[in-house]
Amino acid sequence: MERRRLAILLGAVVVLVGAVAVLRATGDGPDPVRQGSRGTEPRHLERFSTSGVILPNPSGPPAPVSVLSVESGPRQLLVRWGSSLADGVEPAGAAGYEVRWGKGRELEHTRLVSRSLVQLGGLENGAEYRVEVRSVDSFGQRSAAVGGTGRPEPYVLREPWSYVEEFDDARTIAENWRLSQRGSCGTALPGEGEDAGRLVITGNCGSEPAVLRPRTPFRLAQTPQANGELGRAVVETDGSGTAQQFTIDLVPGPVDLVLGNVKEVEGSTRPTAAQEDQSLPPGTVRLRATSFSHSGAAQLLVPPGTPRSSAVIDPRSVPAALPPMPISVRQRWEVVVYTDRVEVLRDKQPVAAANIVVGWREATMLLGFTGRGTGQTRSAVDLVGFLGAPTTTPPAVTPPRLNWSQGSPSASVERPAGARQLTEFSGGQLRLGLLSRGTVRLDKLTVRVGGLRLPVRMAVPGTEIIPGAGFPVVVDLPKEALAVVGEQNTLNVVVENDGPLEIVQAGIEVVPEPGARVAPPTPPPSRPVTRRNKPVVAEPRAELLDAAAKPLTPGKTLTRGRVVLEVELDGPVAQIVAGELAPLAGLEVLVDNERVARLPTTAQGPGVAGRWRFGLSTGELPFGPHTIEVRAIGVNPETPPAQAFVSFLLGPA
């Protein structure tokens, strides 16, 4: 039977009364979605409806952007408008924005975004670029363009850095930076194109972090400044808006990875108090920046027993809540250590503080980028710097390749067949991240390496082994243990324990013999390209309302009559994937797998996102379960559609 039983009405608020209007279909054919041969041409959706369906019509175009700000950065321009400016407002009718830019008067680049803030990268320092922004409504209508100009400028290093890295030299990146993660799910590579001059971290690690470590230690000053400051760690990255969580750890010990157990829950942040996490090693200070759909959060975390001072943190000194983290936009994070407290600054504004007293003068800094559960997370780091006591970077060396496994402490110890000694090194340190699955005793842990059985010690003394939590350990390697095999100088490592234990991560640092000539690590002659994620269309959300557009009682069986289907495309969530949105061709609505409507959103160009309300008549549907499917369809044939489903049960009155 033909699907002529639905009436769909659109309006800001839809109230269905009286007879339902009936229109003839305005598009026919087996598939009104047009695309070229072999799917190479852009998709074009024809306006289509079955009898009994009313498609919406656009009203006037959206209002233009009122004020446009273009700020210069190294190889970058930061473009702001609307609510991203102080006292700014979003243009009326805007569902998203079209940003175009280019050198001089040519606008050869285009990006679709959902928020009123965008960073343009890979630009030429000193060259003038023109930028234009147009508001885009739910139907693809454009406002008048509002333009501005800017010149990217190199970063001026005015601070008295004890260490600073700008990531513009692939050689120093290879020498001084290490990436650790649970398994081999991430990479850290010098950026290219739009990401030139940045370190790009990609990971497909689910909800686990990819952790970046500089080999240079962070050191506090012996004598505080007049305001009590001992030092600060500075990071400029877009990771706080692209990763689910971005962390800065200051750990008083030789560690590569600290997992942590406490997860952020929206609304639970206490920005003027440090939350305790028993899985953190003693003395650790962690900043956790979390990105939610409609808000952000910055929280300090410390292990239990961390000393506190008598300093009183004024709750008015930091905001109670943060706005959403900007997507793919460079932010400056600073963890400032004072004699009686620790403060966190974002873009030079205080966002968190606690009366923590640190008992160390040297720490390892770890930068964590936690995934969003599925898909690839891509973040970039622009700058890392330390202010405090002078510090030094260990000699640049090419460490042996590690091959680790688990074994029994009762196994015999034998030197690997064909092993050769790395005579240029005086010794080293093995760094392991272990995870306890039950009762594990440190004194029962050993490591077999190079024909030796060696003891294990905590990377940070006093660390507790907690079932279900990770803990970092180290093994001090004498020269004799550095016995490698194969062309890649592989060092075989066996972690020995009879208890329930998992090796999460392993790394190594080696120490050259005095006067020895050692080869530093060199970037590959043709390094892998750090490909950007492909943009996706905004994710639809669909909800059934009653005929007056009010929420229905959850789980209630519906009777025949009229309901409203509300559809909204969530632009910010989809924009996180690639820093932009895929062009939107339109929407489809299907009821019980039968297409009843198709709505193009390309009135003056591709759509971005939006909100629509459809009224549905269920008068001729049979009793029983039914499913409504909404599809958001991209212009690019290679862009997969995004879907949302609403199910309901229809029964007698």
pLDDT digits (tens, 9 = 90+) for 548-576: 889 998 888 999 888 888 999 989 889 98
Give strand pairing partners of 631.
Answer: 588, 643
pLDDT score of 353 more than 50: yes
Does residue 470 belong to any structural domain of this protein? yes
Does residue 341 belong to any structural domain of this protein? yes
Q: Which residue has the higher pLDDT, 636 or 5?
A: 636
Tokens describing residue 98:
């079209």
> Which of 494, 508, 363 shows the shortest CA–CA distance to 429?
508
Look up the CATH number of the domain holding residue 131.
2.60.40.10
Would you say how long the chain is, in residues?
653
Q: 486: Cβ–Cβ under 8 A, 6 or more apart, which residues?
A: none
Residue 483 is predicted with a pLDDT of 94
Q: Are 401 and 476 in contact (CB under 8 A)?
A: no
For the ranges 182-196, 254-268, 344-358, 495-509, the maximum mean pLDDT occurs at: 344-358
* Last residue within a domain, chosen from 99, 127, 150: 150
Residue 596 is predicted with a pLDDT of 87
Contacts 24+ apart (CB under 8 A), 12-18: 12/613, 13/548, 13/549, 13/613, 14/547, 14/549, 14/564, 14/613, 14/614, 14/615, 15/547, 15/548, 15/549, 16/547, 16/562, 16/615, 16/617
Quote the number of domains for the chain. 4
Same domain? For 416 and 481 the reply is: yes
Same domain? For 242 and 376 the reply is: yes
Q: Are 562 and 617 in contact (CB under 8 A)?
A: yes
Q: 18: Cβ–Cβ under 8 A, 6 or more apart, which residues?
A: none
Out of 26-35, 91-100, 139-148, 607-616, which region has the weakest mean confidence (pLDDT)? 26-35
pLDDT score of 416 more than 90: no
**Could you list the residue range(s) of the whole structural domain that residue 297 is in?**
163-387
Look up the CATH number of the domain holding residue 234.
2.60.120.560
- Mean of the per-residue pLDDT values of the chain: 87
- How would residue 259 be classed by pLDDT, with cut points 50, 70 and 90? confident
Does residue 545 belong to any structural domain of this protein? yes
Does residue 517 belong to any structural domain of this protein? no
Q: Which residue has the higher pLDDT, 123 or 11?
A: 123
Residue 32 is predicted with a pLDDT of 36
pLDDT score of 20 more than 80: no
Residue 530 is predicted with a pLDDT of 61
pLDDT score of 265 more than 60: no
pLDDT digits (tens, 9 = 90+) for 286-316: 999 988 767 788 999 999 999 999 999 998 8
Q: 480: Cβ–Cβ under 8 A, 6 or more apart, which residues?
A: 421, 450, 451, 452
* Last residue within a domain, chosen from 150, 185, 220: 150
Give strand pairing partners of 165.
Answer: 384
> Percentage of residues in the chain with pLDDT exceeding 90?
62
Residue 561 is predicted with a pLDDT of 86
Cα angle 130, 135, 139 (rounded to 5 degrees) comes to: 135
Same domain? For 52 and 78 the reply is: no
Does residue 4 belong to any structural domain of this protein? no
Out of 67-76, 569-578, 626-635, which region has the weakest mean confidence (pLDDT)? 569-578
Residue 22 is predicted with a pLDDT of 27
Q: Which residue has the higher pLDDT, 402 or 616?
A: 402
* Last residue within a domain, chosen from 462, 482, 512: 512
- How would residue 266 be classed by pLDDT, with cut points 50, 70 and 90? low
Q: How would you class 183 by CB atoms within 10 Å of its CB: exposed for 0-12, middle for 13-18, buried for 19 or more? A: exposed
Does residue 232 belong to any structural domain of this protein? yes
Consecutive H or E run containing 79: strand 76-81
Residue 14 is predicted with a pLDDT of 33
Out of 75-89, 264-278, 304-318, 373-387, which region has the weakest mean confidence (pLDDT)? 264-278
Same domain? For 464 and 351 the reply is: no
Same domain? For 115 and 175 the reply is: no
The strand pair at 129-136 and 96-103 is best described as antiparallel
Same domain? For 223 and 290 the reply is: yes
**DSSP code per residue over 271-324:** TTSPEE-TTSPTT-EEEEEEE-SS-EEEEEEE-TT--B-S----GGGS-SSBPP
Same domain? For 82 and 108 the reply is: yes
Consecutive H or E run containing 575: helix 571-578
Same domain? For 115 and 215 the reply is: no
- How would residue 577 be classed by pLDDT, with cut points 50, 70 and 90? confident
pLDDT score of 27 more than 70: no
Residue 529 is predicted with a pLDDT of 57
Distance between CA atoms of residues 189 and 174, nearest Å: 9
Consecutive H or E run containing 492: strand 490-496
Residue 547 is predicted with a pLDDT of 87
Q: 412: Cβ–Cβ under 8 A, 6 or more apart, which residues?
A: none
Q: Which amino acid is at 459?
A: A
Consecutive H or E run containing 235: strand 229-237
Same domain? For 378 and 472 the reply is: no
Residue 528 is predicted with a pLDDT of 57
Same domain? For 459 and 349 the reply is: no
Contacts 24+ apart (CB under 8 A), 390-393: 390/162, 390/219, 391/162, 391/163, 391/216, 391/217, 391/218, 391/219, 392/216, 393/163, 393/175, 393/176, 393/215, 393/216
Does residue 522 belong to any structural domain of this protein? no
Distance between CA atoms of residues 465 and 471, nearest Å: 7
- How would residue 50 be classed by pLDDT, with cut points 50, 70 and 90? confident
pLDDT digits (tens, 9 = 90+) for 480-526: 999 999 988 999 999 998 878 889 999 999 999 998 888 777 765 55
pLDDT score of 634 more than 90: yes
pLDDT score of 79 more than 90: yes
Does residue 525 belong to any structural domain of this protein? no
> Percentage of residues in the chain with pLDDT exceeding 70?
91
Same domain? For 74 and 54 the reply is: no
pLDDT score of 375 more than 80: no
Same domain? For 226 and 146 the reply is: no
Q: What is the pTM of this model?
A: 0.88
